[in-house]
C-alpha cells in the first residue's frame, strides 16, 4: 500500500514549554551522557501513554521511524502514527526522540497528562548541501544567507583527527516558519550560564551535521563561525549581542554557550561543536495554566491556542488536552495576546491576559455557541463478527487537521469545533490484532453529539510480514508496507504493528527468484537488531516470487544468528507477502 498524504495534525505541543501546575521535590535523574544539569523541578517518575505522528517537510507521514521515550520504543505506521503505552517519564517532563535513516533526529519535550499524550514531530532531511576539505578554510552557504565558516580542523567520534573531504548537512529555521514548533528540537526550555531554567524567544536556529567520505559522523576539532540572518520582522527588537544556546540531545533542553553579535542583518558567533544552535533572548518565567470549556463547563479538547508576548514577534501554539487544559512557562511581567482558533484555523477569540508576577491559573475560558459550534464524535470500533476491537486507533480528518483517538475496549471519542462552512469529515480506523482496516468513510457532524455507532474494521489487510524467534510467539506486522526495487536494490519495510512493537526492514541487491544468504539480503528489526554480513548467522532467504508493480513479492527466510550484544544464539523463521510499490 502506498504512503498516505498527511494532513495538518493536532499533535503540536505548547512550545513556550508545556509544564504541569504541580510541583514535586523529586530530583531529576539525567540521561546517560547528559552534558548539563538544570535548576528545575522535573517531578517524580511516572508511567504515561503517548500517541503521535512523525511527518516529513512536505507533511507526508514517515513510515517505520523509530520513536523512543526513555527505555520504551515503537515504530510508526503508514500514517506516521506511533503508540507507546506505560512509558516511564517524569511527571513534569517527557522527552520524545524520533529517528529515521535519511533524516536528522527529531525530538519534542512535553508535560505528560493523565490521558494519552499527543505529539507531532517533523523530521528534516539529512541532505548534503555543500562540502569542505580538512586542512584548509572553507564555508557553506544556504540560499537564505545562513553560513558556516570552517577552519579546516575536524575529528572523528573517537577523537582522532580526520583528513579528507567533509560533507555538510545544514538547516536554518527562521522564526517566521509556520512549522517551527514541529521542526525544532525539544521545546524552548533552557538552562542559562548559571544553570537556571529560562524560556526563550528565538531569533533563528541552525543545525549542522558533518560527515566523512564513508558517511561517518564528524565534529569540529577547532572552531567555526556561524552566521544567521535576522528575520526582518524582528530586526527592530534584535539585541546587539545575544546569547547562543546549543541543544543538548541527551537532556532535551537548550544550554547557554557563548554569544553572537549583530552585524548588519545577521548574527555572527563562534562555536566549538555542532548540533542545533539557537540565537535567543531569555526571560524570567511564571507558570500559566488555562482550561477551555463549553457553557456546560465541560472540557473541550483539541482547541488551538496561540500566546504572543507583546514584546515578541511570533506566537507559540498549543492544543488543549482531553481535560481542556494547557499549561506552560511564559515570560513574567508581560502582557500576552491569546488567540483561539477552530479546527479549520479560523480565529474565534482574541484577548489580552497578564501581566503575571507569579504562577497563575486562569478562570475557565468558555467557548459559547455564538463563538463556535462544538460536537463530540463518539463510536465503537468493532470486528467483522461485531466484537469490539481492543488494539487499534481511529483517525478523524477534518479541515486542516487530523485528530487521532486510541481505542479503549472498542470505544473512541473526539472533540471538534465545527467550522460554519464545513460540516463534513472522514474516519479511518485500524485494528492491529485482527489485520483489519475500515478504509476512509465520510460522515457529517451533528451537535452536540455525533454518534456514528459501530465503525466496522472488516477489510482484510492484503500484505504482511511474520516472523518467529526461537519458540517465542509469532510476531506479525501488517500493512501498509513499503516494498520495491530500485537501482539501489530490493527494500521491504514495515512499522511495528500487530503483535510486535518493533519494526522490520529487509534490503538486498537481487530481485531474481532463488535461494540466497546474508551476502545478498540483510535484516534489521527491534526484536533481533541486525542480521547480515557482519553477524554470525546461517540465515537463508527463499525469494519465490517477484511480481510486477502492484503484484506480490513472496519470500521465506530461516536459520540461526548470534546476537552480538548478548553473544547468544537464536533461531529465526519468517514469511514475507507484500505488494510491490515500485
For 62-101, what is each residue's pLDDT tens digit? 988 999 999 999 988 878 888 898 999 998 889 999 999 8
Q: By percentage, how much of the chain surpasses pLDDT 90?
A: 43
For domain 373-460, is the CATH number 3.90.650.10?
no
CATH architecture of 128-283: Sandwich (2.60)
> Does the pLDDT at position 132 exceed 80?
yes
User: Using CA of residue 341, residue 345, residue 347, residue 353, what is the dihedral sign?
Assistant: positive
Q: How far is CA 169 from CA 129, 132, 139, in A?
A: 6, 11, 12
Phi, psi of 181 (to 5 degrees): -65, -30
What mean pLDDT do residues 463-484 have?
Answer: 79
- Among residues 50, 356, 344, 18, which one has the least CA distance to residue 181? 18
The neighbouring-strand residues paired with 572 are 469, 559
Look up the CATH number of domain 1-123: 2.60.40.1120
More confident residue, 494 or 209: 209
What mean pLDDT do residues 16-31 have?
Answer: 36
What mean pLDDT do residues 433-444 have?
Answer: 79
| Mean pLDDT over the full length of the chain | 84
Note the pLDDT of residue 217.
Answer: 94
Strand, helix or coil for residue 51? strand
> Does the pLDDT at position 15 exceed 60?
no
What mean pLDDT do residues 307-331 have?
Answer: 79
Give 479's pLDDT tier (boundaries 50, 70, 90).
low
- Among residues 58, 30, 41, 48, which one has the least CA distance to residue 85? 48
Grid coordinates of 255: 544550554
What mean pLDDT do residues 445-473 have?
Answer: 80
Q: By percentage, how much of the chain surpasses pLDDT 70?
A: 91
Note the pLDDT of residue 24.
Answer: 37
Note the pLDDT of residue 481.
Answer: 87
Domain ranges of the chain: 1-123, 128-283, 285-366, 373-460, 464-579
Note the pLDDT of residue 1.
Answer: 33
> Does the pLDDT at position 8 exceed 50?
no
Note the pLDDT of residue 476.
Answer: 66
The number of CA neighbours under 13 Å toward the Cβ of 117 is: 28
Strand, helix or coil for residue 523? strand
Contacts of range 401-404, beta carbons closer than 8 Å, 24 or more positions apart: 401/7, 401/8, 401/9, 401/10, 401/302, 401/343, 402/6, 402/7, 402/8, 402/9, 402/10, 402/53, 403/9, 403/10, 403/302, 404/9, 404/10, 404/11, 404/51, 404/53, 404/81, 404/118
More confident residue, 286 or 219: 219
For 237-276, what is each residue's pLDDT tens digit? 899 999 999 999 999 999 999 999 999 999 999 999 999 9
* C-beta of residue 296 within 8 angstroms of C-beta of residue 366: no
> Does the pLDDT at position 223 exceed 50?
yes
Neighbouring CB atoms inside 10 A of 37's CB total 13
For 374-409, what is each residue's pLDDT tens digit? 888 998 998 877 789 988 889 998 877 788 888 878
Look up the CATH number of domain 285-366: 2.60.40.10
Locate all alpha helices (DSSP H) within 413-466, ordered by sequence: none
Instruction: Specify the DSSP element, H or E, that contains 180.
Output: helix 180-183
Q: Which residue has the cell 510508526?
A: 76
> Does the pLDDT at position 29 exceed 50?
no
The neighbouring-strand residues paired with 241 are 261
What mean pLDDT do residues 424-453 have?
Answer: 82
Residue 364 is classified by DSSP as P
Give 523's pLDDT tier (boundaries 50, 70, 90).
very high
> Does the pLDDT at position 38 exceed 90?
no
More confident residue, 56 or 314: 56
- Among residues 139, 207, 131, 129, which one has the least CA distance to residue 164? 131
Domains 1-123 and 373-460 share a fold: yes
Using CA atoms, how far apart are residues 147 and 172, in angstroms rounded to an integer?
9
Amino acid at each position: 500500500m502506498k504512503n498516505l498524504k498527511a494532513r495538518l495534525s493536532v499533535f503540536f505541543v505548547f512550545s513556550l514549554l508545556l509544564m504541569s501546575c504541580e510541583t514535586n521535590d523529586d530530583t531529576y535523574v539525567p540521561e546517560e551522557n547528559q552534558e548539563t544539569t538544570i535548576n528545575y523541578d522535573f517531578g517524580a517518575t511516572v508511567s504515561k501513554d503517548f500517541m503521535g505522528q512523525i511527518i516529513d517537510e512536505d507533511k507526508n507521514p514517515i513510515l517505520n521511524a523509530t520513536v523512543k521515550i526513555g527505555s520504551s520504543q515503537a515504530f510508526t505506521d503508514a500514517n506516521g502514527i506511533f503508540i507507546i503505552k506505560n512509558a516511564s517519564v517524569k511527571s513534569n517532563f517527557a522527552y520524545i526522540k524520533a529517528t529515521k535513516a535519511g533524516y536528522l533526529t527529531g525530538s519534542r519535550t512535553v508535560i505528560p497528562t493523565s490521558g494519552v499524550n499527543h505529539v507531532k514531530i517533523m523530521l528534516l532531511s539529512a541532505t548534503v548541501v555543500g562540502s569542505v576539505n580538512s586542512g584548509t578554510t572553507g564555508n557553506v552557504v544556504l540560499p537564505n544567507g545562513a553560513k558556516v565558516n570552517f577552519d579546516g580542523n575536524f575529528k572523528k567520534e573517537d577523537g582522532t583527527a580526520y583528513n579528507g573531504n567533509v560533507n555538510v548537512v545544514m538547516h536554518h529555521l527562521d522564526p517566521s516558519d509556520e512549522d517551527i514548533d514541529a521542526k525544532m528540537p525539544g521545546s524552548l526550555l533552557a538552562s542559562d550560564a548559571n544553570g537556571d531554567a529560562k524560556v526563550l524567544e528565538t531569533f533563528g536556529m541552525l543545525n549542522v551535521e558533518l560527515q566523512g567520505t564513508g558517511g561517518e559522523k564528524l565534529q569540529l576539532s577547532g572552531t567555526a563561525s556561524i552566521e544567521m540572518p535576522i528575520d526582518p520582522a524582528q530586526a527592530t527588537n534584535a539585541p546587539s549581542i545575544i546569547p547562543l544556546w546549543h541543544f543538548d540531545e541527551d537532556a532535551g533542553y537548550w544550554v547557554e554557550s557563548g554569544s553572537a553579535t549583530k552585524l548588519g542583518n545577521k548574527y555572527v558567533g563562534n562555536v566549538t561543536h555542532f548540533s542545533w544552535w539557537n540565537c535567543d533572548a531569555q526571560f524570567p518565567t511564571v507558570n500559566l495554566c488555562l482550561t477551555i470549556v463549553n457553557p456546560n463547563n465541560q472540557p473541550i479538547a483539541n482547541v488551538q491556542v496561540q500566546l504572543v508576548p507583546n514584546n515578541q514577534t511570533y506566537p507559540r501554539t498549543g492544543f488543549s488536552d482531553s481535560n481542556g487544559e494547557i499549561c506552560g512557562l511564559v515570560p513574567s511581567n508581560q502582557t500576552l495576546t491569546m488567540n483561539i482558533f477552530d479546527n479549520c484555523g479560523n480565529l474565534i477569540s482574541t484577548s489580552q491576559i497578564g501581566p503575571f508576577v507569579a504562577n497563575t491559573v486562569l478562570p475557565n475560558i468558555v467557548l459559547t455557541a455564538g463563538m463556535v459550534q462544538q460536537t463530540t464524535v463518539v463510536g465503537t470500533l468493532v470486528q467483522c463478527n461485531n466484537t469490539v476491537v481492543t488494539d487499534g486507533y481511529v483517525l478523524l480528518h477534518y479541515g486542516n487537521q487530523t485528530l487521532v483517538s486510541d481505542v479503549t475496549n472498542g470505544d473512541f471519542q473526539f472533540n471538534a469545533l465545527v467550522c460554519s462552512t464545513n460540516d463534513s469529515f472522514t474516519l479511518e480506523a485500524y485494528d492491529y490484532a485482527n489485520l483489519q482496516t475500515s478504509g476512509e468513510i465520510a460522515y457529517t457532524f451533528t451537535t452536540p453529539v455525533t454518534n456514528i455507532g459501530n465503525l466496522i474494521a472488516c477489510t482484510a489487510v492484503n500484505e504482511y510480514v511474520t516472523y518467529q524467534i526461537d519458540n517465542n510467539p509469532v510476531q506479525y506486522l501488517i500493512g501498509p508496507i513499503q516494498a520495491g526495487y530500485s537501482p539501489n536494490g530490493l527494500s521491504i519495510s514495515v512499522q511495528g504493528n500487530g503483535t510486535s512493537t518493533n519494526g522490520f526492514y529487509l534490503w538486498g541487491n537481487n530481485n531474481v527468484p532463488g535461494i540466497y544468504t546474508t551476502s545478498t539480503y540483510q535484516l534489521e528489526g527491534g526484536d533481533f537488531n541486525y542480521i547480515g554480513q557482519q553477524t554470525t548467522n546461517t540465515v537463508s532467504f527463499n525469494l519465490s516470487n517477484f511480481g510486477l508493480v502492484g503484484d506480490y513479492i513472496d519470500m521465506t527466510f530461516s536459520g540461526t544468528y548470534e546476537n552480538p550484544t548478548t553473544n547468544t544464539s537464536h533461531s529465526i523463521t519468517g514469511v514475507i507477502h507484500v505488494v510491490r510499490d515500485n
